[in-house]
Structure 1
């Protein structure tokens, strides 16, 4: 006796939305934007979704935390348009960005470690500046860092350091904050970072009120990167499940 054809499960927009905290309109919007594959229509014109659409929705929502809305949407559209290689390229690009962020975090953490004040450092700073206040002129500071005075002037033009001026002579005077910024810039330059990459990091130090508060921010930054990496794993698993289900349906003629 011939097997009876299996009845395909039909789902309403509310069936997909339920459990994800979404509105039915959001589900329809996802379909219209290509995040979900196109749905069939009933005789009366209503959308008829299937478990495949539910799998696509799970994949998209899992991709969001690791890749962001724009990239997650582009990944799903590529898969639904049979452009799987493009989807994988987008995923690779996100991983590359995460790796770059980890490298920046590591460079900043290493630079801050080198900037932790010690008694010896304080003595060197006072000796090099010729002042008990910790302020330094351009020549002694350049000598202390092992760079040319022209380099410090270049960093100043790039906004990395902000020296004051001696009211009597007009010479540049680097207070403790400027010396700190110069040392941080020096460490990051040694790590291969460009001036335009260093500038926003220096701004973070200034906004945090110094190196100490930024160390706490680095811990939060590290936790966010770890969470993003874990989210990428979850998103990859759900996307793989969706692609496998899509391929099975095609092979079965469903």
Structure 2
């Protein structure tokens, strides 16, 4: 239901659209989708938007930058239906996802730092490249390494004579990275994805640049969430004022 406003400047769809760099049809579509409150109509049947709609559009576009189109649309629809707590829960869930992404990034960065021992030279216990020595170095069972192999985390070759697994330098790198991430509580599926990125990047060094880009994206999204929260609060406040004025 549209909130009735007294002595409020009326805006045409084109006015609202131009102020936000949109088309008039996009504004009408947002109203039809429930992202904007229903607009009043003039005597001739034209839509009449107000500052309330402008604030709703401000909030939606700001939320899109931090939370994505789907979540932003769901938040505005919930607010416009009077379900503010539901809208806030959607915001909370999106923040929780960002926090999980940030923690994953930190875990990967820490794991990469731990891949290279402080003392230069070959890491102890891995010279022969066999499963037993590698398992002892990491303090895990050989069965764990076999499980990681079945999950696609590592791909050791087989010795053509003995049939034993032989871990080369890249395999050992992947095992150490997997070990660090497992200690951080990350599931095998997520670790497999990280290791695939390491292999496709050609090693750890190229991945460091990708991690820098990942870190930048997380920071940009975090700041966008802050901006979106400010715009959403402004929209909530004007709705509350208008509702009290017409109560």
**Is the TM value for this pair above 0.5?**
yes
Tell me the CA shift for residue 174 of structure 1. 1.0
Partner in structure 2 of residue 154 of structure 1 = 147
1:64–1:72 contact (8 Å) kept in structure 2 = yes
Contact 1:129 1:141 in 2 (8 A): no
Partner residue, 1:61: 61
Deviation of 1:119 (Å): 5.1
Question: What are the superposed Cα offsets for residues 157-187 of structure 1, whole Å, 9 maximum, x if unpaired?
Answer: 0111011111112111111111111000011
Structure 2 unpaired stretches of 5+: none
Corresponding position of 2:127: 129
Given the alignment, which residue of 185, 198, 207 partners 2:200? 207
- Whether 1:17 aligns to 2:17 is yes
Relative to the length of structure 2, the TM-score reads 0.94
- In structure 1, how many angstroms separate the alpha carbons of the residues matched to 2:218 and 2:38? 34
Stretches of structure 1 that go unaligned for 5 or more consecutive residues are 131-135
TM-score of the two chains, using structure 1 as the length reference: 0.91
Q: Distance in 1 between matches of 2:29 and 2:212?
A: 38
What whole-Å deviation, never above 9, does each CA across 1:45-92 have from its counterpart, x for those lacking one? 211111110110001001011100000000000000000000000011
Structure 2 CA distance, aligned partners of 1:117 and 1:20? 54
CA distance in 2, matches of 1:179, 1:211: 12
Give runs of aligned pairs for residues 85-100 of structure 1, distance below 5 A.
85-100=85-100
| SS of structure 1 residue aligned to 2:34 | coil
Whether 1:225 aligns to 2:218 is: yes
Any runs of at least 4 consecutive aligned residues in structure 1 with deviations exceeding 3 A, and if so which?
Answer: 117-120
Q: Deviations over 1:186-242 (max 9, x none)?
A: 111111222122111111111211111111111111111111111111001111111
Matches within 5 A, 1:1-254: 7-116=7-116, 120=120, 122-125=121-124, 128-130=126-128, 136-253=129-246
Q: 8 Å contact 2:117–2:123 — kept in the other structure?
A: no
Q: What is the deviation of 1:20?
A: 2.1
